[in-house]
Amino acid sequence: LAWLLALCSFIPIMTAATRVVQIPLGALPEDSLRLAVSLPAFFLHAAAGLLFGLLGPLQFVRSLRRRYGAAHRWAGRAFVLAGAVLALSGLALLLRVESIATGLLDAARGVFGVALALALLLGVASARARDMPRHRAWMIRAYAIGMGTGPVGLVLFPLYLITGEPPTGVLTDVVVVGTWLSSIALGEWVVRRLAKPAPRPRVA
């Protein structure tokens, strides 16, 4: 199921990679210039999102975990650190940058930022307790929260190409929050699917 997680995170990963290049060059598009009032937090948010998005699917591949256990643990530490920076920088941007969204989306950003940090903490606590199934479940949930806005680009990006301006308004924010919740629900479905015991072979 790692491919499914990677597919959902493709758009935010590409967006984060673009921002990581644009911010140092001072080449931000006009619709992102307002975020320049907190440029360090914006850059950290993009860089952390890029690392978090790339490491996530690799961490969930069972064959890689078994074959490269030490690398998996070190990558896991980087994954958690990137997720923590992603959550904290996102909350910092929410507090410092003037919002052009509705209260619904701003509230969702705050809630999901806190939820991401909490899921990471629970995942780390489970790993320390040697409860690997619970650890894996919380890390999948953290990834689903952190990359939750990915699929919304499939809806809003075509509108952006047509109009030349980023979609805004109540309906747009409802779509964003709904997509975010759908990604979290998908993560929970993956968790429950992986938790199902493998069927026993029939005895002839």
Q: What is the largest CA-CA distance in the chain?
A: 70
In sequence order, the 6+-apart residues with CB closer than 8 A to the CB of 70 are none
Residues in the chain: 204
Reported confidence tier of residue 1, pLDDT bands at 50, 70, 90:
low
**Contact criterion met (CB below 8 Å) for 187 and 1:** no
* Phi, psi for 68 (deg, rounded to 5): -125, 65
Of the listed ranges 24-28, 60-64, 157-161, the one predicted with least confidence? 157-161
More confident residue, 154 or 71: 71
The pLDDT value recorded for residue 183 is 87
**pTM of the prediction?**
0.86
Across the chain, what does the average pLDDT equal? 86
pLDDT for 202 equals 57
- Does position 163 have pLDDT exceeding 90, yes or no? no
Question: CA–CA separation, 143 vs 104, rounded Å?
Answer: 22
